[in-house]
């Protein structure tokens, strides 16, 4: 059995990790930390877990964590990087669900997250945990930076195009993204209360969102091209729903792209992927089709000869966060990649 620690278990990624890990046949969750809730039973905070575990939140204890095989950080940005080196030194694998190991560019990290990076050396050897694209490196990794939710949809939505040269005009990319409210976490703030979000729709962070540099760096990595994605436009919106994320991506095709069978390109690219579903021509992906599941669905449209529209849906808390983290843990530990991730989406 793999012994697991979770740091920061009071947020939505924390409880989602527990939902997946408490049913994982090769995992024991050994410790779950919370600065504020130490001593409280986790099922008292999350009644959905009543009868599933007798775990209590405990204070952060580095020795307990070092005794684990894998430690997940479901914490705010800046926590994992303070402890990762010590954990790695005792052969504990680290998966950070925050941003500490997402950006290789240290200036970008400092600019967007407001702090210098605490372990630049370890960052270099860490792996960006987009499971489908970086599978082999993840298998070898000691530290994985789990991708942001929006970047996951964009990368899997564009990868088949970018792995080819000359299909799209890279500077034309526009990402109009929509997220359910759980993407903002579990925080007591006025802007997040029910009455401010229900029956309402809005854009936010139009001036710049932290996921934009992550997207750009990732697309550069996938395509091997530098500086062509800097003019990308990314506008996130907030949807009055709990879970779910849909990104509508607009790209201009090149002459070569125009004559390429894009649908087939995607189908082939993902044909062996269990969690990526290229939907048939004409299909309309809905976020509820992945509610609670680790699936990500893609549909492709050509409303104009030179324009491609890519629609991607996922559950932001599963494939966009905790599910992909477990997928990465499975890879890092040599388990079947889909262990504990085969749950079917809740419909309706």
322: Cβ contacts below 8 Å, ≥ 6 apart:
13, 16, 17, 19, 20, 74, 97
Of 2, 6, 71, nearest in space to 42 by CA: 6
- Which of 81, 84, 123, 279 is in the footprint of a copy of itself by CB under 8 A? 279
| Angle, alpha carbons 189-116-87 (nearest 5°) | 90
Write out the H or E segment, with its range, that includes residue 176.
strand 168-180
Shortest distance, CB of residue 131 to a copy of itself, whole angstroms? 16
Shortest distance, CB of residue 307 to a copy of itself, whole angstroms? 5
The one segment of 63-71, 95-103, 113-121, 287-295 that binds a copy of itself by CB under 8 A: 287-295
The one segment of 70-78, 113-121, 136-144, 201-209 that binds a copy of itself by CB under 8 A: 201-209
How many residues sit close enough to a copy of itself to count as binding (CB under 8 A)?
A: 87
Which residues 211-270 are close enough to bind a copy of itself by CB under 8 A? 231, 233-235, 237, 239-244, 246, 248, 250
Binding to a copy of itself by residue 50, rule CB under 8 A? yes
What letter does residue 141 receive in the DSSP assignment?
-
Binding to a copy of itself by residue 200, rule CB under 8 A? yes
- Which of 26, 89, 125, 347 is in the footprint of a copy of itself by CB under 8 A? 347
| Angle, alpha carbons 107-81-296 (nearest 5°) | 85
Write out the H or E segment, with its range, that includes residue 267.
helix 262-269
The one segment of 24-32, 97-105, 144-152, 292-300 that binds a copy of itself by CB under 8 A: 292-300
Please say if 149 is a catalytic residue: yes
Which residues 59-78 are close enough to bind a copy of itself by CB under 8 A? none
Rounded CA separation 81/79 (Å): 6
The one segment of 70-78, 82-90, 154-162, 305-313 that binds a copy of itself by CB under 8 A: 305-313
Binding to a copy of itself by residue 287, rule CB under 8 A? yes
Ramachandran quadrant class, 313 (left: phi over 0; alpha: psi -120 to 50; beta: rest): beta
Rounded CA separation 60/326 (Å): 21
Question: What's the token pair of residue 220?
Answer: 């550069």
Binding to a copy of itself by residue 288, rule CB under 8 A? yes
Binding to a copy of itself by residue 193, rule CB under 8 A? yes
Distance of CA 12 to the CA centre of its chain: 13
Shortest distance, CB of residue 121 to a copy of itself, whole angstroms? 34
Rounded CA separation 70/56 (Å): 19
Binding to a copy of itself by residue 277, rule CB under 8 A? yes
User: Which residue, 142 or 254, has its beta carbon nearer to a copy of itself?
Assistant: 254
Which residues 132-161 are close enough to bind a copy of itself by CB under 8 A? none
User: Which residue, 85 or 273, has its beta carbon nearer to a copy of itself?
Assistant: 273
| Angle, alpha carbons 149-130-237 (nearest 5°) | 15
Shortest distance, CB of residue 103 to a copy of itself, whole angstroms? 19
Which of the residues are catalytic?
149
């Amino acid at each position: 059995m793999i012994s697991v620690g979770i740091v920061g278990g009071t947020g939505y990624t924390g409880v989602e990790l527990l939902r997946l890990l408490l049913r994982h046949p090769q995992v024991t969750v050994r410790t779950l930390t919370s600065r504020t809730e130490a001593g409280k039973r986790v099922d008292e905070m999350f009644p959905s877990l009543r009868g599933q575990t007798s775990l209590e939140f405990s204070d952060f204890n580095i020795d307990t964590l070092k005794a684990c095989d894998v430690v997940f950080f479901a914490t705010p940005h800046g926590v994992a990087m303070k402890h990762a080196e010590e954990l790695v030194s005792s052969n504990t694998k680290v998966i950070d669900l925050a941003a500490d190991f997402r950006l290789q560019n240290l200036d970008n990290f400092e600019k967007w997250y407001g702090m210098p990076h605490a372990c630049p050396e370890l960052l270099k050897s860490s792996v960006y945990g987009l499971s489908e694209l970086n599978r082999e490196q993840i298998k070898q990794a000691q530290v994985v930076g789990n991708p942001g939710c929006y970047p996951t949809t964009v990368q899997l939505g564009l990868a088949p195009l970018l792995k080819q040269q000359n299909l799209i005009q890279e500077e034309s990319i526009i990402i109009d993204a929509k997220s359910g409210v759980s993407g903002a976490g579990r925080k007591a703030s006025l802007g997040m209360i029910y009455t401010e979000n229900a029956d309402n729709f809005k854009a936010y962070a139009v001036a710049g969102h932290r996921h934009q540099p992550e997207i750009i760096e990732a697309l550069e990595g996938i395509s091997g091209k530098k500086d062509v994605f800097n003019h990308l436009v990314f506008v996130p919106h907030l949807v009055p729903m709990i879970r779910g994320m849909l990104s509508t991506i607009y790209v201009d095709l090149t002459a070569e792209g125009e004559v390429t069978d894009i649908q087939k390109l995607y189908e082939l690219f993902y044909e062996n992927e269990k969690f990526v579903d290229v939907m048939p021509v004409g299909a309309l992906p809905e976020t509820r089709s992945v509610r609670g599941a680790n699936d990500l669905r893609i549909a492709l449209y050509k409303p104009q000869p030179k324009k491609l529209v890519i629609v991607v849906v996922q559950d932001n808390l599963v494939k966009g966060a905790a599910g992909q983290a477990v997928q990465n843990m499975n890879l890092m530990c040599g388990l079947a990649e889909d262990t504990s991730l085969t749950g079917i989406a809740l419909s309706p």
